[in-house]
Structure 1
Amino acid sequence: MPLIDDARKVRELAYAPYSRFKVGAAIRGRDGVVYVGCNVENVAYPEGTCAEAGAIAAMVAGGETELVEVCVIADSGSPVPPCGGCRQKLAEFGGPDVPVLLATTGGLTLSTTIGELLPGRFDAAHMAGSHVADAAPG
């Protein structure tokens, strides 16, 4: 089943009573398993969670830490890219060449990559040699 079908299905489960802007995300882990997430709003903005973050949390909870494909879908006039925070989250678990399909419920799509969504990304190499990276946990 294509990721867009999984993203479309989970989008319907989004909890968006305030914005009424439902978003669904599906990611495929290196293991081939598809993990999904939807946005979950909270009256105390910005305490909600994005669909992409939910899918990543499901992936990690499933024991996987590498994603190889992403799809995000929303009911919009044009494909909606992930917010800045979610771009960084996707970059944490996927390389710059990982394909990302952005879609609308009306059928428009835009194919991109994590690297195109987040050029110049911050990663662990930036912390190499710093006192933070050298610190032992707790």
Structure 2
Amino acid sequence: MSAQLEHANFTVPNPEATARWLCDVFDWRIRWQGAAINEGFSIHVGSDDSYVAVYSPPLSPQKAASSSYRTIGGMNHLAVVVDDLDATEARVKAAGFTPINHADYEPGRRFYFTDDDGIEFEVVSYA
């Protein structure tokens, strides 16, 4: 039996803005958008096989009180595999984010960045 991650779901204050930069940086597309749980709104952004759901409740969401790395059930980061790490890093910078923690170790090269909502992304290439 083989399993594959289909999607992750994040709460953000502005799904449209988050979806826009996800499309720009990762060359993804909006797969679906519409009404969601608790009278909120979601946008599914990704590829044919997997996506990120960015959700906002009807009232402004609250920021996390502490680091996800210190919170049981906290989401520490989302890793995205790309073919061209350098080109993706240029798009990350163009979107206004700062790449950090560059590393080159088996099985691939990688860097991290944090978006405006405090969500940490790892970008990795096995090419």
After TM superposition, the score normalised by the length of structure 2 is 0.30
Q: Which structure carries more helix by proportion?
A: 1
Q: Which structure carries more strand by proportion?
A: 2
